[in-house]
A and B are shown apart, each in its own frame.
Chain A
């Protein structure tokens, strides 16, 4: 087996008595776009700072192409980084900012000039070479920061929520730029964000961080279709949970009783299902349908609470007898949406294989 390009091995980081990163292990392939996704305080940024060398890990190791990075100080790691805050050097022009990493490497002038031109073209800011950072918008500054980080062809590029200070429209625009730049350069990118849409849009794979550990690593569709934990299910996409109890177990599937009326048969389960123990059944809104009579394999009587027309779909919020919320997303023109009214009693139905259970 060949060694993975970048290996993060059992990284742990403790500040005083606060554990920021409990235990993180992850392999990243060369050229991969890997996103660390998680809420603030989940350890994703700390892991990135350990990679950058701006934080010392309490335990664990980081290997790049098989050899450890921890013995190398930050400035010799040859890693590119774009920060959350604007970090252009305020007294230098755009061109001088980009030339800075090459100047400290004592590269010849013609090589520096060529590199500056190349990366400015890459981020499409050719005409801004002589501009001072203070005279640029936030989006432009972050693009220059990206150009500066790429000017010396680092094997790994770290990005710590680089777009979080920008407004939504600009953010999306630069997300596509980043994707294009990733494809054009083939650089390995580790990207930190708390925005699931951003993660899904950019990444080859996503590592979902929660409370200092990685809950799951996978492509966006893997995480959506088959979340390993309840946290991942809640964090990626919309989902609702019905609290229930395990009735019978058959391998990785279980029959789960939800309320008095319904036992959902053969639900794929995560964790160790034990008869009599609690389990939460997850349903995605687009997998649930509404009808006047029970019609699929699993149906539950619900009351309509609110109906919102959203163009290509209609969002129906319902409530079960146990007062649990269950969202239903009906595609535009779906017959079930006709004549639906708040307060109405209907049946929510789904295929058992579309549900998933997380055992407590």
Chain B
């Protein structure tokens, strides 16, 4: 993003200074202990379920008793011994990767049209792209189920990918559109004047410049598909299940600590993904 340091810097630092003064921790006196307690409580509320699940996955009771009477790795062994768990994880990963690629590509093309285009009904089209985010997921799931039933896509990989793509696209369109809007079109014009063909200018200048938006779109799209359970329950067949669906059906049939083990691994995977995102982001900013 082109920014004029000489002009913007003083204004921003003034504002930051006054905000910092308002929230200066040292000036709060005894209030700071109240704030600290609230923070700790909120953090515990958010983290405790995850810690419970992780603890239960190592507990040796098969009735999910907390605190566990003893410790074991049995549930992890069972998890890896059962090919259906691995299969569903592999299915989830394949679907999520396909959704990510399609969502970013289509999101980029749609965002280019929505931010650069001058056609009629542009705002309506933008709203249409965002609707899956606002619509109740169950409504969408039933509609997709009914539709896919007619064209025979239920229980297929393609059906899964298309259904999740509908859910992921709003995230891509929003994050890529935002990046494109904050990108000055003059920079692309400058690249063209420098001798780059229009497509080359977009590929070599615009795309790298909105890289953070593309990356955010990819991470969101992946997680939307990877975590999704409602639509997936409708799409799933006995032979084709995603990991969240497998957890859900296992949960309904027998309440085994293997679920806790699977959930713990899911959480670890998500944390790893988020950490990777932070690292990539830092690398991009340089």
* A residues with CB within 8 A of B: 52, 54, 73-81, 83-91, 100-101, 104-105, 132-134, 136-139, 141, 145, 148-149, 152, 165-167, 170
Contact = CB atoms under 8 A, between A and B. Distances in A.
A260 B257 CA distance: 108
A244 to B, nearest CB: 46
B2 A104 contact: no
19 contacts: A52-B189, A54-B189, A54-B192, A54-B193, A73-B197, A74-B192, A75-B198, A75-B200, A81-B193, A86-B4, A90-B209, A91-B208, A91-B209, A104-B195, A134-B1, A136-B5, A148-B190, A152-B195, A165-B7
B211 A101 contact: no
Nearest to A167: B6
A235 to B, nearest CB: 27
Contacts of A133: 2
Contact of B194 (A86, A100, A166): A100
Contacts of B204: 100, 104
Given A87-B186, A89-B209, A90-B209, A75 B4 contact: no
B205 A75 contact: no
Given A88-B2, A100-B191, A104-B194, 13 more contacts: A52-B189, A75-B196, A87-B2, A87-B184, A87-B187, A88-B187, A89-B191, A104-B195, A104-B196, A132-B286, A134-B3, A137-B6, A165-B7
A133 B184 CA distance: 14
Nearest to A105: B195
Nearest to A54: B189
A152 B193 CA distance: 11
Contacts of B3: 86, 134
Contacts of B286: 132
A89 B205 contact: yes
Nearest to A145: B190
Closest A-B pairs by Cβ, 9 of them: A86-B2, A101-B194, A87-B190, A91-B208, A81-B193, A104-B196, A87-B187, A104-B195, A138-B4
B194 A83 contact: no
B193 A138 contact: no
Interface of B: 1-7, 184, 186-187, 189-198, 200-201, 204-205, 208-209, 211, 286
A89 B187 contact: yes
Contacts of B205: 89
Given A85-B184, A87-B190, A132-B286, A76 B195 contact: yes
Given A75-B198, A104-B194, A148-B194, A90 B1 contact: yes
A91 B211 contact: yes
Majority SS at the chain A contact face: loop
Given A85-B2, A87-B184, A138 B196 contact: no
B4 A80 contact: no
Q: Which of A85, A89, A101, A136 has the most CB of B within 10 A?
A: A89
A91 B236 CA distance: 43
A83 B211 contact: no
A100 to B, nearest CB: 6
A159 B205 CA distance: 21
B119 to A, nearest CB: 15
A107 to B, nearest CB: 10
Contacts of A75: 192-198, 200-201
A101 B205 CA distance: 12
A87 B189 contact: yes
A139 B4 CA distance: 9
Contacts of A77: 193
A83 B5 contact: no
Nearest to A88: B2
B128 to A, nearest CB: 27
B186 A85 contact: yes
A132 B208 CA distance: 14
Given A85-B184, A90-B1, A137-B6, A74 B208 contact: no
B108 to A, nearest CB: 17
Contacts of B196: 75, 100-101, 104
B187 to A, nearest CB: 5
Contacts of B194: 75, 100-101, 104, 148-149, 152
A297 B191 CA distance: 61
Contacts of B209: 89-91
Contacts of B6: 137-139, 166-167, 170
A86 B4 CA distance: 8
Contacts of A100: 191, 194, 196, 204
Contacts of A74: 189, 192-193
A196 B224 CA distance: 57
A141 B205 CA distance: 17
Nearest to B187: A87
A101 B195 contact: yes
Given A91-B208, A91-B211, A81 B195 contact: no
Contacts of B191: 89, 100
Taking each of B7, B187, B190, B197, which has the highest tally of chain A beta carbons within 10 Å of its own beta carbon? B190
A73 B192 CA distance: 9
A263 B160 CA distance: 92
